[in-house]
Amino acid sequence: MLLLKTPSVLPGFKISLGLTVLCLSLLVVLPFAMMAAKAAEIGWGGFWNTIAEPNVLAAVWLSLRMSFYAMLTNVVFGTLVAWVLVRYEFPGKGLVNALVDLPFALPTAVTGIALATLYAPNGWIGRFFEPLGIKIAFTPVGIWIALVVVSLPFIVRAVQPVLEELSGEYEEAAATLGANRFTTFRRVLLPEITPALLTGAGMMFARATGEYGSVIFIAGNIPMVSEILPLIITGKLEQFDVQGASAVALFMLLVSFVILFALNVMQWALSRRSGAKG
């Protein structure tokens, strides 16, 4: 009896998988592996001595702290923007929807220069705060504003499709049963959009920790005050300290990976809980 081979469900799967693995290896795995190998040249002790430098620790803490603050801000503000774009019709809605993606389209240097023009002591907005002794540009506050601006689309575009799939009838039913807007959001909407929020927050945080172009113009780059981690890495490269720059970059990569992994675990747990309830 002649046995016929069962055709694959996806013809060409092996070729596609091989090309995928090859591309990921060349574009992602290999560069990170080379960076880790370069950092390993200074040894374990040299690695920790580099990370323990006061200016490096200050830059790591500043980058993580401002990224976290920006993430919290955009979780609230980005959700609000997505809600308005989905639930309301108003003149210029298409323009507002397009403006959300503007930080993705603009070069980051343009964003940084624009923010510095606004918030510098003699800027259009900064001049009103200067007599009050409040500085925005060249302080951590300026870094926070820059990170909020460049990372807002991550939250909006993650939450917006989920809200579009949710019928407004659920909210109307909750209101009919006597629930106020906050209760409706907390009990009806929040459980549905939380996985999307975590996805957007993770991508936003990863982008914010490594943001350079928009931040450098408004940060002031004062050591131990407003010097961001990418500038530390750039400074070490300019000093031909490739091993030290690789060590700092590798450390930040590991920290970001741990945070992203934790967010993904939270998202998986929420999805599993929602599936069990369904």
- pLDDT tens string, the chain, 278 residues long: the values are 455 555 555 666 778 888 888 888 888 888 888 888 888 888 888 889 999 999 999 998 999 999 999 999 999 999 999 999 998 888 989 999 999 999 888 888 899 999 999 998 888 898 998 888 888 888 999 999 999 999 999 999 999 999 888 877 777 777 777 777 778 788 888 888 888 898 899 889 888 888 888 898 888 888 888 888 888 988 898 888 999 999 999 998 888 888 888 888 887 887 777 666 65
Residue 241: CA count within 13 A, CB half-sphere: 15
Question: Residue 167 in contact with residue 188, Cβ under 8 Å?
Answer: no
Question: Residue 150 in contact with residue 67, Cβ under 8 Å?
Answer: no
Amino acid 8: pLDDT:
53
Amino acid 81: pLDDT:
94
Amino acid 247: pLDDT:
92
Domains and CATH numbers, the chain: 29-277 (1.10.3720.10)
Alpha-carbon span 176 to 144, nearest angstrom:
40
Q: Classify each residue of 14-39 as buried b or exposed e, where b means 16 or more C-beta atoms within 10 Å of its C-beta.
A: eeeeeeeeeeeeeeeeeeeeebeebb
Alpha-carbon span 221 to 217, nearest angstrom:
8
168 is written with which tokens? 């407004």
Alpha-carbon span 159 to 79, nearest angstrom:
7
Q: Which amino acid is at 173?
A: A
How many residues belong to the chain?
278
Torsion 64-69-73-79 (CA) sign:
positive
